Amino acid sequence: MSTELESTRRALREAVAQAGRAAELARLLDAAQAKLATAERSVEEARALSEQLAEAEDRLAAEQAAADKLRKELAEQRFQAEVANWKLSSIKVARWNRLGDAIKSGKSNPIRLAKGLRGASRPVKRPTAPKRRPVSAAKAKEERPGVAFQATSTTRTVGGASFRLKPFRVPTGPNTRPHLTAAVIADPHAEALLRYEWRQTTGFTPRDFARVLPLEVPHLLVVESVTQGPWAEEITGEPGEGLKALLAWCGERGIRTVFWHTQGDVAAYARAAELFEHRFTTDLSVAWPRLQFGVQPRVHNPLPLAGGRIDRVLTLDQLLPEHLSYPDVLTSYRWPAAADCPPGTPQWRLAELAACGTSIGTEPDDRRAHVAMRRAYGMGTMTERIDELLEAIGLPSARATLNTSVLLPIMDPFLMEHALAQVARQSGVDQLIVIGPPETELRARDVLPDVEIVYRRPHPAMTEGAMLAAGIDLCEADLVAVMDPRDVYGAHYLSDLRRAFLFSTADIVGKAAFYAHLRKPQATLLKQPDAEYAYLPEIAGATLLARRNTLRELGFADLTEGWDEVLMRQCRTDGVKVFSADRFGYVRVRDEDRWLLGAAHLVEYGSAEPHALI
């Protein structure tokens, strides 16, 4: 009996406990339903606010259009008033009007009449007719890439010491593909890499894209896996309505859409990425086509800061504190003597540092920095990456090339083999214009089987300048190089020199800083070591690489010695920009040269090639 009673009591206790839990569950359910109702009301309120905001934006656009119309009407009224004043002034100074005034005022006084007629007969300058002036918008949008993308932080603090910098000036062009327009949603780093590759539209939001993008309808849409900004929530997890609307807008107009995964877990973006026509990734573990970061020559280049580098090796944390914007990062890249980067530093960061000519390691080393820069560019520039992207999605990638023709005048038959061997070392030579002895043509075709050979036999009294003048009209490539058969050129000479056209605005590139070797004293010299990566009045003629059309317009003087001095003088007269690149890859070879001995630094007695050819 007691056992049954105990079982009944236990059952009652469990029933009471279950009833308590049920009551708690009911309370929690009521609270959840109340929160859900509140959330639904918040959603409705947010939707209503969004609609109000859209209406406000539409009203603002309409008011701006009305303001522009009023501004134009006011400008027209001012112009018409100016025209009326001009007509009135013209009538007043007209001779017939002045004669009439003289007759009217002097009809009762013959002396006054004579003076008035004499004055009226003199010519008077008529007022200048007014011209319509263009009506400027309330705020004109600057279209050049990089114009609003400038460094703002001018000081750095290292070890408690404060340093004031002259920031790197981010260039505003040129644009690689001005015929192509891209709408881009990207973080500042990716945006900086892309902005020079096409005409770029950024800054639009899920609310205003339908108003912004029609101003210049893009050829493609590129969306990076952004982590901040108004689009971040649209592309993570379940795709947002704004993203769907944007892609639908692009689909209606045949605009190609590209998703570029550069950061974060790809699974977070997978649902949104499925809505795009094309998907690319920087992650080797993701089974999408690759689109890696590349250096952007417009901003990742060895152009120095105005104040030069400090004589310090900085760690990456000292060099790049967290508060820096990307334009300020571009300044920091150029600041230290060397950057000590820890293991695990992203490859793209190392490539950007190296492309800016900064030594990576615990000690500065110019030679190692130059090789690292060459390697960074060799891994691929952003221009080459975009070529791959456009080819994959079916858009043309027309742009200027760096194809090269070489002008090689050979005046001494004994230099033929040496001269052809120097050209054969080079990469990227499309055409060789060789002017020399008759046997040069067949030998050039043997040594350079994959290069177009154009041979001309010189007249007996022809100067070197005359040879070059005859050869320039035969060149077909975009760039023309002049090589001296006496000198030594490294295997990377032309490829290093061509690189300067990617980041400079010069029409002629060459070397004002270079190594020289004098055979008689067996001396190796270094000419103007401080003349690297700078716009200068002149460079050595034997290192000249120029745009073909510029060289044709300048021409060559009919001289053997000094034709390059005349050419540089003409550049200064015509305002042609001349850029001096690095000091490596070339050795000027002479038996003796008193001018060089007085103008260059002695490096050592011995061969120059170990110093120059890296």
The stretch 518-534 carries a mean pLDDT of: 93
Lowest mean pLDDT among 119-123, 383-387, 393-397, 518-522: 119-123
Answer yes or no: is pLDDT of 362 > 60.
Answer: yes
Q: What pTM does this model have?
A: 0.75
Q: Are 237 and 274 within 8 A, CB to CB? A: no
Q: Residue 254 phi/psi, 5° resolution? A: 70, 25
- For residue 80, the model assigns a pLDDT of 77
Residue 231 DSSP label: T
Burial class (CB in 10 A: 0-12, 13-18, 19+), 331: buried
What are the pLDDT digits (tens) for 267-290? 999 999 999 999 999 999 999 999
> Which fold would CATH assign to domain 404-613?
Spore Coat Polysaccharide Biosynthesis Protein SpsA; Chain A (3.90.550)
What are the pLDDT digits (tens) for 345-361? 999 999 999 999 999 99
CB proximity list for 613: less than 8 A, separation 6 or greater: 488, 490, 491, 584, 585, 587
Q: Under the phi-then-psi rule, with left for phi > 0, alpha for psi from -120 to 50, and beta for the rest, what region is 426?
A: beta
Query: 173: number of CA atoms within 13 Å, CB side?
Result: 8
Q: Tell me the percentage of the chain whose pLDDT exceeds 70.
A: 81
The whole-angstrom separation of Cα 22 and Cα 422 is 91
Answer yes or no: is pLDDT of 104 > 70.
Answer: no
Angle between the 366-378 and 347-355 helix axes, to the nearest 10 degrees?
Answer: 120
Nearest residue to 224 (alpha-carbon basis) of 278, 275, 187, 181: 187
Q: Are 381 and 296 within 8 A, CB to CB? A: yes
What are the pLDDT digits (tens) for 36-71? 566 566 556 655 565 565 566 556 666 776 777 777
- For residue 121, the model assigns a pLDDT of 66
Helix (H, G, I), strand (E, B) or coil at 52: helix
| Amino acid letter, residue 103 | I
Indicate the helix (H) or strand (E) that contains 205.
Answer: none
Nearest residue to 608 (alpha-carbon basis) of 531, 544, 518: 518
Binned at pLDDT 50, 70 and 90, residue 139 comes out as very low
The whole-angstrom separation of Cα 309 and Cα 165 is 10
Lowest mean pLDDT among 169-178, 232-241, 306-315: 169-178
Binned at pLDDT 50, 70 and 90, residue 138 comes out as very low
What are the pLDDT digits (tens) for 235-245? 999 999 999 99
- For residue 153, the model assigns a pLDDT of 80
Binned at pLDDT 50, 70 and 90, residue 428 comes out as very high
The stretch 374-390 carries a mean pLDDT of: 95
Answer yes or no: is pLDDT of 493 > 50.
Answer: yes
* Whole-Å CA distances, 484 to 342, 409, 423, 546, 586: 44, 7, 10, 15, 11
Binned at pLDDT 50, 70 and 90, residue 8 comes out as confident
The stretch 411-419 carries a mean pLDDT of: 95
Binned at pLDDT 50, 70 and 90, residue 140 comes out as very low
Is the previous residue joined to 174 through a cis bond, with omega within 30 degrees of 0?
Answer: yes
- For residue 141, the model assigns a pLDDT of 46
Binned at pLDDT 50, 70 and 90, residue 107 comes out as low
- Quote the mean pLDDT of the chain: 87
Answer yes or no: is pLDDT of 423 > 70.
Answer: yes
Q: Are 219 and 213 within 8 A, CB to CB? A: no
